[in-house]
């Protein structure tokens, strides 16, 4: 089935989210849509799936114009979609989720459970998607939930499958498994629209790449196109793809965490006896798929959640039970993962946000009164120093672009004399320009002797910044590695493989002894395979060692793994100042 978009235009108020987009997806083709966050990719697929109506233009399937007024029209037209945030009911079984809306029934609308189960099982076996129809979806790992979504689309006889940022929630191993499935579907004659902002993935899987920038198609390229060219197409100017980073010169142990444990839901620990040290002048990167205890680690380090066991020491001072304010006073700087939720008060001015942590101290206040003059003066200095694009220091911070909001946080946290910087997802949802800036400042902090802890679910960021890498899985640290570790090995650690197994695999892969997934049985890691985590393929996606630079590091995560919860879903929220809308950063970061 051939899918054509002609002159699709979608406006939200004065904002043109899609501007005369032309796109042709041939049968049996994997067509990648590459673009930064807010480039209009999500709007485009919403139009395609009948979730939004285009203001102009038409959609043709096999030459026939289609009116896609709702998702059910799109489904009828043979279009299936795997949303970035899965459209699955957690408390339903796989079979119920898959057949929802087209249930197999007997008399009186009673559900024919046996037939449902059989259909789901048959379909998933035909495409090598192992899913058990009777499992509750909430009990499944994310990678398998995604497969359920694919089965759901296949059951509806989707000939064009749209995958919206499908890898943002996956480990590298799970991504490889997804790519295998995608190739399988392609060979079955189905077309796939693959949406991503990750250059490497797009180069690996796509047959054709269409680059979108600010709602327009800016080019179509074959997958052999270089990183640099794709990145500059995506951003609209040539970009510095790697952080220039002198070798670290670590000093004494600054942060010493021993056996840190945080209680989680039910009887599980969210953080389970985590121990590590960060030296002065060193960046420790914590890699891991989101939701494996990274949030709790940050919160425990900042004193936002109580430690059930273990200790936190900063320069020998025991901070385990210290309050957040005591910790800030001890010199902890913190860049939270959700800047709008935890980092800023949106309705406060830039100046006020810059002193949120020290408002009650001299020189910003005396007695019960704030010293507005000093506050404004300092704010003006910071705004200049950190290149924060704002009309004035009195502007509410919520009206700034995501990149500038992040700079406000950065300015506040490292503007004072910090001993330890904890940065969680520091560049999530930012454009390439802001990423460059944030990364550069973080490295500068390191070079001034600050101990830096970076927590990121983007491997590229981990590689770009880290002097040492720790990997977290289910609240534990599964291993420490140097930054020249192959990504496959990190991927295994991220999927819960033991330190030794991952090391053995990494060593073997380094010597080219293992080809693709066949290694699975040999290394005895099939339990990972059960969940579809699989093993990362070796051929074709080896990354250059880190000392050659993290390759397209910066460009590839321009839009942060899963962006933000809401901004990526709907056009309605995109037009808000949420920092992830189509105009994100473009207005405030003129080139």
Partner 1 sequence: MTTLTTAVRSTVAVNRTLIASATFVAFGLADILLFGLFSHGDATFAFAQFGAKVGVPNLVLPAAPVAYALGAVSIAIGVLRATVPLSRAGRRACIAGAVLAFVISLLCWADAGNSTALNVINLLQGTVVYSIPLILGALAGVMCERSGVINIAIEGQLLLGAFAAAVITSAFSSLWLGLIAGSLAGGLLGGVLAVFAIKFLVDQIILGVVLNVFASGLTGYLYDRALVPYQNRLNSPVTFSSVKIPLLGDIPIIGPVFFDSTIFLYITYAMIALVQVGLFRTRWGLRVRAVGEHPTAADTVGIKVLATRYRNVLMGGLIAGIGGAFLTIGQVGSFGKDMSSGEGYIALAAMIFGRWTPLGATAAALLFGFSTSLQSILATLNVPIPSNILLMAPYIVTIVAVAGLVGKVRAPKADGQPYVKA
Interface residues toward partner 1, by CB under 8 A: 46, 49, 51-52, 70-72, 75, 81, 83, 86-92, 96-97, 100-103, 105, 108-111, 152, 156, 259, 261, 263, 266-269, 272-273, 308-309, 569-573
Report in angstroms how near the CB of residue 218 gets to partner 1 at its nearest: 26
Identify which of residues 537 and 571 has a Cβ nearer to partner 1 in the complex.
Answer: 571
Identify which of residues 149 and 589 has a Cβ nearer to partner 1 in the complex.
Answer: 149
Identify which of residues 109 and 246 has a Cβ nearer to partner 1 in the complex.
Answer: 109
Report in angstroms how near the CB of residue 52 gets to partner 1 at its nearest: 7
Distances (CA, A) of 291 to 232, 518, 567: 32, 29, 20
Give the span between the Cα atoms of 165 and 38, in whole angstroms.
13
Identify which of residues 108 and 369 has a Cβ nearer to partner 1 in the complex.
Answer: 108
Identify which of residues 88 and 462 has a Cβ nearer to partner 1 in the complex.
Answer: 88
Identify which of residues 86 and 127 has a Cβ nearer to partner 1 in the complex.
Answer: 86
Q: DSSP code of 223?
A: T
Report in angstroms how near the CB of residue 260 gets to partner 1 at its nearest: 11
Report in angstroms how near the CB of residue 267 gets to partner 1 at its nearest: 5
Cβ–Cβ < 8 Å for 460, 432: no
- The dihedral sign for the CA sequence 293, 294, 300, 304: negative
Tokens 């794709």 found at: 230
Report in angstroms how near the CB of residue 67 gets to partner 1 at its nearest: 15
Tokens 């399988």 found at: 184
Report in angstroms how near the CB of residue 570 gets to partner 1 at its nearest: 3
Cβ–Cβ < 8 Å for 453, 333: no
Give the pair of three-digit tokens for residue 255: 């942060």
Q: DSSP code of 347?
A: T
Among residues 195, 160, 181, the alpha carbon closest in space to that of 27 is found at 160
- Which strand ranges, in their side-by-side order, compose the sheet holding 216-221? 79-82, 160-164, 191-196, 30-35, 208-213, 216-221
Identify which of residues 426 and 582 has a Cβ nearer to partner 1 in the complex.
Answer: 582
Give the span between the Cα atoms of 190 and 62, in whole angstroms.
13
Identify which of residues 89 and 394 has a Cβ nearer to partner 1 in the complex.
Answer: 89
Identify which of residues 93 and 561 has a Cβ nearer to partner 1 in the complex.
Answer: 93
Query: What residues have CB less than 8 Å from 95, skipping those under 6 apart?
Result: 113, 116, 117, 120, 133, 134
Identify which of residues 7 and 259 has a Cβ nearer to partner 1 in the complex.
Answer: 259
**Could you write out the three-class secondary structure of 79-90?**
EEEECCCCCCCC
Give the span between the Cα atoms of 146 and 124, in whole angstroms.
12
Give the pair of three-digit tokens for residue 390: 């704002």
Write down the H helix ranges in 388-546. Answer: 402-415, 432-447, 459-465, 487-494, 499-510, 519-522, 526-530
């Amino acid at each position: 089935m051939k899918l054509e978009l002609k002159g699709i235009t979608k406006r939200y108020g004065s904002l043109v989210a899609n501007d005369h987009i032309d796109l042709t997806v041939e049968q049996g083709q994997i067509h990648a849509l590459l673009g930064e966050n807010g480039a209009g990719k999500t709007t485009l697929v919403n139009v395609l799936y009948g979730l939004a109506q285009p203001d102009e233009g038409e959609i043709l399937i096999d030459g026939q114009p289609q009116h896609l007024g709702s998702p059910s029209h799109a489904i009828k037209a043979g279009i299936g979609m795997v949303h970035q945030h899965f459209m699955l009911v957690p408390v339903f079984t796989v079979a119920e989720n898959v057949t929802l809306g087209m249930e197999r029934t007997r008399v009186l609308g009673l559900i024919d459970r046996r037939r449902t189960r059989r259909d789901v099982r048959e379909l998933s076996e035909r495409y090598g998607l192992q899913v058990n129809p009777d499992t509750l979806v909430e009990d499944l790992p994310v990678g398998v939930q995604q497969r359920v979504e694919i089965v759901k689309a296949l059951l509806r006889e989707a000939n064009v499958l749209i995958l919206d940022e499908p890898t943002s929630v996956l480990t590298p191993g799970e991504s490889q498994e997804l790519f295998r499935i995608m190739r399988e579907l392609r060979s079955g004659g189905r077309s796939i629209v693959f949406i991503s902002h990750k250059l490497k993935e797009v180069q690996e899987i796509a047959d054709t790449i269409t680059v979108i920038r600010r709602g327009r198609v800016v080019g179509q390229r074959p997958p052999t196109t270089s990183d640099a060219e794709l990145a500059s197409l995506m951003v609209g100017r040539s970009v510095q793809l790697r952080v220039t980073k002198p070798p670290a010169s670590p000093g004494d142990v600054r942060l010493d965490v021993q056996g840190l444990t945080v209680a989680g839901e039910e009887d599980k620990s969210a953080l389970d006896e985590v121990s590590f040290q960060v030296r002065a002048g060193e960046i420790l990167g914590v890699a891991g798929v989101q939701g494996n205890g990274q949030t709790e680690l940050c919160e425990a380090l900042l004193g936002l959640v109580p430690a059930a066991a273990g200790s936190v020491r900063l320069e020998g001072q025991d901070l385990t039970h210290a309050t957040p304010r005591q910790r800030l006073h001890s010199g902890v700087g913190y860049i939270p993962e959700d800047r709008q939720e935890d980092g800023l008060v949106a309705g406060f001015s830039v100046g006020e946000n810059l002193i949120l942590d020290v408002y009650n101290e001299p020189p910003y206040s005396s007695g019960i009164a704030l010293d507005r003059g000093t506050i404004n003066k300092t704010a003006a200095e910071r705004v200049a120093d950190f290149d924060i694009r704002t009309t004035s220091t009195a502007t509410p911070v919520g009206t700034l672009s995501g990149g500038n909001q992040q700079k406000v946080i950065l300015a506040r946290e490292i503007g004072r004399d910090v001993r330890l910087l904890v940065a969680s997802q520091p560049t999530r949802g930012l454009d390439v320009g802001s990423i460059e800036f944030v990364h550069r400042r973080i490295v500068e902090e390191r070079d001034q002797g600050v101990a830096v802890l970076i927590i990121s679910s983007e491997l590229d960021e981990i590689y770009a910044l880290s002097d040492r890498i720790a990997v977290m899985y289910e609240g534990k640290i599964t291993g420490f590695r140097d930054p020249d570790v192959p990504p496959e090995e990190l991927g295994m650690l991220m999927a819960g493989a033991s330190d030794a197994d991952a090391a053995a695999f990494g060593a073997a892969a380094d010597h080219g002894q293992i080809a693709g997934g066949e290694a699975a049985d040999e290394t005895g890691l099939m339990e990972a395979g059960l969940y579809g985590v699989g093993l990362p393929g070796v051929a074709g996606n080896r990354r250059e060692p880190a000392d050659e630079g993290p390759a397209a590091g910066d460009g590839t995560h321009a839009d942060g793994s899963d962006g933000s919860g809401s901004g990526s879903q709907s056009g309605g929220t995109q037009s808000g100042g949420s920092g992830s809308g189509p105009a994100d950063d473009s207005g405030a970061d003129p080139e």
